[in-house]
Amino acid sequence: MLHKNQIMRIITTLSISFLITLIISVADCQSIKGYIYDSDIGIPVADANIKVIGTYLGTTSNKEGNFEIQDLKSGNYHLFITIVGYETHEEEITLSNDSNCTLQIPLKNKIIQLNQEVVITASRSKYIDYDLPDAITILNSDYLRQNIQRTLAEALSGTTGVWLQKTNHGGGSPIIRGLTGNQNLILIDGVRLNNSTFRYGPNQYLNTIDPLIVEQTEIIRGSGSVLYGSDALGGVINVLTKNPRFIDKGFKASGNAYLKYMSSDMEKTGRCAIELRSKKIAVLGGISYKNFGDLIAGGKLGIETPTGYYEISGDIKAQIRLSSNYLLTIAYQNLQQNNVPRYDKIIGKYSKYHFDPQMRQLTYTRLESFYKNKWFNNIKLTFSFNRSYEKRIKQKKGESKIKTEKDDVNTIGTTLEVISKPLPNWNFTTGVDFYFDKVKSTASEKEAKEILLARGYYPDGALSYSFAVFSQHTIVIKKFNIIAGGRINAFKLYLKDEIFGNVEISPIAYLGSLSILYKLHKNYHLSASVNTGFRAPNINDLSSFGTFAYGIEVPSPYLSPEKSINTEIGFKSRTNKFSGSAFIYHNQLYDLIDRTPAQYNGKDSINGEKVYKKENIAEAYIQGFEISIEYQVFRRLILYGILNYTFGENITKNEPMRRIPPFNGGIGIRYKSKKGFWGNLVWLYAGKQNRLSSGDISDSRIAEGGTPGWDIIKISTGYSWRFIHFNVALNNIFNKAYRTHGSGIDGYGIHFILSTQINF
């Protein structure tokens, strides 16, 4: 394995080679002017994004629908026009010497959304999801705005292939194809959120991303380990945040104020954002404050306390055009949640169990370039720093002793990606990435006036390194798109533990993938895929010492990576009035890490709680199907639906796998008028889940005998007029009592939500 110094020398050499090629281009006199309008009613479309493909030139349309892109040389140009609520539009332009071009561009309202979205995550470059073999769930900004969910995690509920588990009101752990926690990978703008202390089982980390800064969320269902590395056994969630926009002339300052209220004071949210735009520099930033009251459940369950908490966050992103071919992005995000209670613990053995605070910080700098070179067409270099900090305060009922645990994880990351297009029918992405974690973990116990220092949940000063090389190739042969890739990933973890002994492991993973898309007809695509995945044991797996949902965990120093082989076949269809997809999958899992009964100091329990440790003990499989459809009943009325079925079996234990979601789905109708009005009515359903593992049976969050089935109805509507957007929703309109399987808290009872955004 390469040493840290060798790795840094390689990255430094590549980075310098990339940076020294930066040349400021000389401008010519030609320009492209245009007018963008709504094809249905003929009014101008403001704030449409116009980009010149293969460069970083672009602008936005003004309130009259006009735009201009200057300083273009003679040649052929490909314009890409996008705006929320409209179909993507493309234009091919040819400019000759001293010529200008004026365009009239009609945009069609996007009525059907399925199989119509531009995605990045599946291949690390932009493609329409219909032309990819991957199973993809997309939450665009239209969806996020109209669903007006409390958190980003809750916005995933009711989507294709995703189930949401909530241990507490501050949590929200997506289950993708039966897997959750550190078996799914979360990215923010392509940067890993997962770190070496991501917990086994459900966690709260997706909930530390403010949904109000999100432009689009892309979920790749099925292993994404070849492109993104460890943890992507179930899937990859890439949260793409909003970018500032450029204008081609002058300077413009704008912004918006956002307010949201949920009935019974279950939520009060405010946000203010400012955007500064010019030809060379664009900046977008904002501050959010949220106060979440105690949850009020349906039926006779009523208020569940304590569940409320509050949150404050701030963010800023700047983009700088160094030239037409070079773009520099600098971003910073900071979110802090305070006094977040573990409701499931407090109604059990604890009088106090709070996260206070839970904090996430992310800083990254990304330099991107385009070249007219078939081997180095597009290069991206990213440096990132991610910090995760949480403090847990615990006190058992009937005891005066208060325990405080603090975990502080600092992650440094570097990624270099190169997109090559050597032939018209062959392109590929190659890259290297490096991540380094340092963990600071402490604990103390206070009783009366005495404070005793104790070992933290993890060994203080634990280190984790990851270095990888990857490449994925796409070859087009007539009606076939063939995608093949590979990855080599090396790890090193070092733990200095005075109580349990030092640990050092250095696993290496070799991965491959192969996918084929067959274009049976322009309206029908078939696909088949096989890929391998893995999850390297992290610091949480190796060294956790403390409480979890149903016991106390002690360190497990001798673990090896979890591995998977995922196979699936898929079908996608897209016509003028219908769009749909269906996937059948089978994921074979090897060397799964699971908790087993253990001893500590010769005893099988501590203070009445059973002792467990982790081991590579299980072989298992998960299989199922996912179906999603949209049908245009009338010009502006859409009927849509989803079905998800997951079956998991632990072969080693001859029992069901843990936390497998029940059969679930939904059906709805969506209406969008010509003049800014929209409406949505949806019925969501989940069957009972009584196929329980031994771990499920021991879990206090799951009712004896399993989780009952449930169904709810939600209705929402909104109106946009010039600079004002107004939304209202009424959820669980029959006030039914329900709990999503695996959760430690119940679902909302009947409630309404009001939100408004004023642009200025």
Rounded to whole angstroms, how far apart are CA atoms 581 and 569?
11
Domain of 48?
A: 27-107
Q: Give per-residue pLDDT as tens, 614-633.
A: 899 889 999 999 999 999 99
Give exposure, 191-204, as e/b (b: 16+ Cβ within 10 Å). Answer: bbbbbbbbbbbbbb
Domain identity same for 175 and 84: no
Tell how far CA 51 is from the center of its chain: 25
Q: Which helix (H) or strand (E) holds 353?
A: strand 350-370
Kindly report, residue by residue over 139-182, the tens digit of the pLDDT: 998 888 888 889 999 999 999 999 999 999 998 999 999 999 99
Q: How would DSSP label each residue in 9-67?
A: HHHHHHHHHHHTT--PPPP-SEEEEEEEEETTT--B--S-EEEETTSS-EEE--TTSEE
Question: Which tens digits make up the pLDDT trace of 282-340?
Answer: 999 999 999 999 999 999 999 999 999 999 999 999 999 999 889 999 999 999 999 99
- Tell me if 616 sits within 8 A of 592, measured CB to CB: yes
Phi–psi pair at 263, nearest 5 degrees:
-55, 155
C-alpha gyration radius of the chain: 26
HSE-CB of 298 using CA atoms within 13 angstroms: 20
Cα separation of 402 and 191, whole Å?
A: 36
Same domain, 663 and 681: yes
Give dist(CA 524, CA 529) in Å, integer.
17
pLDDT digits (tens, 9 = 90+) for 80-132: 898 888 888 888 888 887 667 888 999 888 888 888 888 898 888 888 899 99
When pLDDT is cut at 50, 70 and 90, the band that residue 483 belongs to is: very high
Residues 522 and 584 in one domain: yes
Q: For residue 173, which of 158, 159, 154, 160 has the smallest C-alpha distance?
A: 154
58-64 average pLDDT score = 88
pLDDT band at 3 (very low <50, low <70, confident <90, very high): low
The pLDDT confidence band at residue 548, using thresholds 50, 70 and 90, is: confident
Same domain, 394 and 456: yes
CA distance 28 to 37: 28
| 4 domain residue, yes or no | no
3-state SS class at 134: coil
pLDDT tens track for 395-416: 999 888 999 999 999 999 999 9
- Give me the percent of the chain exceeding a pLDDT of 90: 68
As a whole number of angstroms, the distance between CA 423 and CA 528 comes to 24
The CA distances from residue 649 to 361, 662, 695, in Å, are: 38, 14, 13
Residue 230 predicted with pLDDT over 80:
yes
The answer as to whether 255 is a domain residue is: yes
Assess whether 683 and 712 both reside in one domain.
yes
Task: Report the number of distinct structural domains present in the chain.
Answer: 3
pLDDT bracket for residue 392 (50, 70, 90): very high
Averaged pLDDT, 213-223? 94
**Residue whose token pair is 């573990």:** 342
Domain boundary among 107, 142, 159: 107
Structure-token match 């120093």, residue found: 557
At a CB cut-off of 8 Å and minimum separation 6, what does 179 contact? 233, 234, 235, 622
Q: What is the DSSP letter of 696?
A: H
Is pLDDT at 28 greater than 70 in this prediction?
Answer: no
Q: Residue 495's closest CA among 556, 434, 408? A: 556
Token look-up 């996912």 returns: 626
Residue 199, H or E segment: none
Residue 7, in any domain of the structure: no
b/e map of 17-49 (b: 16 or more CB within 10 Å)?
A: ebeeeeeeeeeeebbbebbbbbeeeeeebbebb
Q: Quickly state the pLDDT bin for 27 (edges 50, 70, 90).
A: very low
User: Which residue is associated with the tokens 């399987």?
Assistant: 741
Helices (H), 169-277: 225-228
- Assess whether 144 and 252 both reside in one domain: no
pLDDT of amino acid 25: 36
The pLDDT of residue 86 is 86
> Residue 174's domain is classified under what CATH number?
2.170.130.10
More confident residue, 30 or 89: 89
Joined tokens for residue 229: 């590395």
The answer to whether residue 113 is domain-embedded is no
- CATH code for position 720: 2.40.170.20
Q: Phi, psi (5° rounding) for residue 748? A: -60, 145
Both 559 and 615 in one domain: the answer is yes
What tokens were used for 626? 């996912």
Cα angle value 161/221/178 (rounded, 5°)? 60
Of the ranges 130-144, 377-391, 729-743, which one carries the lowest mean pLDDT score? 130-144
Q: Is the pLDDT of residue 22 over 70?
A: no
The DSSP code for 45 is -
CB atoms within 10 A of CB 528: 14
The stretch 448-458 carries a mean pLDDT of: 80
Q: What pLDDT does 275 receive?
A: 97
**pTM over 0.95, yes/no:** no
CA separation for the pair 279, 77 (Å, rounded) = 19
Centre a 10 Å sphere on the Cβ of residue 1 and count the other Cβ atoms it contains: 12
Under DSSP, the state recorded for 129 is G
Q: Is the pLDDT of residue 754 over 80?
A: yes
Which of 236, 267, 297 is where one domain is finished?
Answer: 236
Closest by Cα among 712, 713, 716 to 680: 716
- Per-residue pLDDT for 10 more than 60? no
Helix (H) or strand (E) holding 523: none
pLDDT at residue 17 greater than cutoff 90? no
Mean pLDDT, the chain, as a whole number? 91
For residues 294 and 608, the model is more confident at: 294
Using CA atoms, how far apart are residues 463 and 649, in angstroms rounded to an integer?
A: 34
Average pLDDT for 413-424: 95
Work out the average pLDDT over 35-51. Answer: 88
Query: Is residue 342 in some structural domain?
Result: yes
Three-state secondary structure of 305-331: CCCCEEEEEEEEEEEEEEECCEEEEEE
Indicate if 420 and 542 belong to the same structural domain: yes
Q: Which residue has the higher pLDDT, 218 or 113?
A: 218
Instruction: Please tell me the predicted confidence (pLDDT) of residue 476.
Output: 95
Mean pLDDT of 529-533: 96
Q: Is 523 found in the same domain as 419?
A: yes
Given this model, what pLDDT does residue 26 score? 36
The half-sphere exposure of 592 on its side-chain side, counting CA atoms within 13 A, is 26
* Co-location of 270 and 335 in the same domain: yes
Helix (H) or strand (E) holding 656: strand 655-656
3-state secondary structure of 144: helix
pLDDT at 15: 52
| pLDDT score for 73 | 82
Distance CA 134, CA 97 (A): 43
**Average pLDDT estimate for 500-519:** 94
- Residue 621's identity, in one-letter code, is Y
Q: Do the domain assignments include residue 12? A: no
Q: Are residues 161 and 306 in the same domain?
A: no
pLDDT in tens, 267-284: 999 999 999 999 999 999
Statement: residue 488 has pLDDT above 70: yes
Q: Give the pLDDT of residue 24.
A: 36
Report pLDDT digits (tens) over 576-606: 899 999 999 999 999 999 888 888 888 888 8
How far apart, in whole angstroms, are the C-alpha atoms of residue 104 and residue 722?
A: 22
What is the token pair recorded at 566? 């995922």
Q: Which of 50, 77, 107 is the last residue of a domain?
A: 107
Residue 59 has pLDDT above 50, yes or no: yes
Residue 508 included in any domain: yes
pLDDT tens digits along 346-387: 998 899 999 999 999 999 999 999 888 899 999 999 999 999
Instruction: Note whether residue 487 is domain-resident.
Output: yes
Using CA atoms in the order 13, 19, 21, 26, what is the torsion angle rounded to 10 degrees?
Answer: 180
- Total count of residues recorded for the chain: 760
Omega before 537 cis (within 30°)? no
How high is the pLDDT of residue 131?
A: 92
Percent of the chain clearing pLDDT 70 (strictly above): 96
Residue 678 phi, psi dihedral angles, 5° rounding: -145, 160
What's the average model confidence in pLDDT over 670-686?
Answer: 92
Query: Is the preceding peptide bond at 555 cis, omega within 30 degrees of 0?
Result: no
State whether 86 and 143 are in the same domain: no
For position 81, which CATH number holds?
Answer: 2.60.40.1120
